Amino acid sequence: MDIRKVGVIGAGQMGNGIAHVLAVAGYEVALTDVSADALEAARATIGRNLDRQVSKGALTEDDREAALGRISSTLDLADLGGSDLVIEAATEREDVKHAIFAELTPHLGPETILTSNTSSISITRLAARTDRPEKFMGFHFMNPVPVMQLVELIRGIATDEATFTACSGVVERLGKTASTSEDFPAFIVNRILIPMINEAIYTLYEGVGSVASIDTSMKLGANHPMGPLELADFIGLDTCLSIMNVLHDGLADTKYRPCPLLVKYVEAGWLGRKSQRGFYDYRGETPVPTR
């Protein structure tokens, strides 16, 4: 299938990155969100990240303008009706995703491929509630999207080969590398990464180390580019908690129980960088540990 127009749902940190890389690769992108402010902020972020690429010589000023020109913004899901492919990147809540697909699918042509950027939720379960389980799959980008090389591709039980081939072709055109995961909770990257982050939060909760000592230990002792608590703030603590809950519910093993301290931060609304506070406070010039 020839994919030219792509709809992206959710203009948060993942949605704006996905729109960015698609537009640079020449796709026409319609970006949608429930909030006009989120759409405006996404456009500004995309502009800034394109500027970075221009200043590094990775893109020309003309490429930047052309990419921005390929991205339209809308508050109306119906405007995604002409898409060949839709990538849903809204909040990591299953009820939100089901509601989006229920509202969207009546506007789509029968051939449109529907995908989710979910970090953890069952692709088979999401697909089963749509009118096109065979044309549905997981299309999981990593954060920050313009920088990270990997895309996980996840087939649901009903996904057909044409859908998988079309999505693999998009990954290739983006210049990224696909890995294939079976449809089990949190797939591959997050099955390994998020329990490691949760363990770092337990290490903090039990007083084994401070925020600074845990992050320094993993950066300098294991050569991770970010410490696990810095990375948790970067991903979003709400998203980390949702993923742990999916692992805990889906695999029924106490080793996946979310750390109570993670729950407390989310209940406080301290969601990490996106809310200016998490394991670090980002409101000043430099991030300050909150414990």
Ligand X SMILES: CC(=O)CC(=O)SCCNC(=O)CCNC(=O)[C@H](O)C(C)(C)COP(=O)(O)OP(=O)(O)OC[C@H]1O[C@@H](n2cnc3c(N)ncnc32)[C@H](O)[C@@H]1OP(=O)(O)O
- How much of the chain is helix, strand and coil, in % rounded to 5? 50, 15, 35
Among residues 49, 88, 117, 140, the one annotated as catalytic is: 140
| Contact track, ligand NDP, 3-32, x by CB under 6 A | ------xxxxxxx----------------x
Binding part of the chain for ligand X, among 69-77, 141-149, 199-207, 261-269 by CB under 6 A, reads: 141-149
All residues at 6 or more sequence positions from 175 whose CB lies less than 8 Å from its CB, including other chains: 25
Q: Which string of b and e fits 246-275 if b means at least 16 CB within 10 Å?
A: bbbebeeeeebebbebbeebbeeebbbbbb
Length of the chain: 291
Nearer to ligand X (CB atom), residue 112 or residue 119: 119
181 counts as binding ligand X under rule CB under 6 A: no
We find the least distance from the C-beta atom of residue 55 to ligand X, in angstroms, to be 8
DSSP result, 78-140: GGGTT-SEEEE---S-HHHHHHHHHHHGGGS-TT-EEEE--SSS-HHHHHHTSS-GGGEEEEE
DSSP result, 157-211: TT--HHHHHHHHHHHHHTT-EEEEE-SSTTTTHHHHHHHHHHHHHHHHHTTSS-H
Other CB atoms closer than 10 Å to residue 206's CB: what's the count?
Answer: 10
Chosen from ligand X, ligand NDP, none, partner binding at 257 (C-beta under 5 to 8 Å by type): none
Among residues 152, 181, 198, 242, the one annotated as catalytic is: 152
Q: Helix, strand, or coil here: 237?
A: helix
Binding part of the chain for ligand X, among 67-75, 127-135, 166-174, 224-232 by CB under 6 A, reads: 224-232
| Contact track, ligand X, 37-66, x by CB under 6 A | ------------x--x---x----------
225 counts as binding ligand X under rule CB under 6 A: yes
| Contact track, ligand NDP, 85-114, x by CB under 6 A | ----xxxx---x---x--------------
Radius of gyration of the CA atoms of the chain, in A: 19
119 counts as binding ligand X under rule CB under 6 A: yes
The answer to whether 140 is a known catalytic residue is yes
Site residues, ligand NDP (CB under 6 A): 9-15, 32-35, 38, 89-92, 96, 100, 117-119, 141-143, 235-236, 239, 274
Site residues, ligand X (CB under 6 A): 49, 52, 56, 119, 142-144, 146-148, 189-190, 193, 225-226, 231, 235, 239
- Known binding site for NAD(+): residues? 10-15, 33, 92, 97, 119, 143, 274
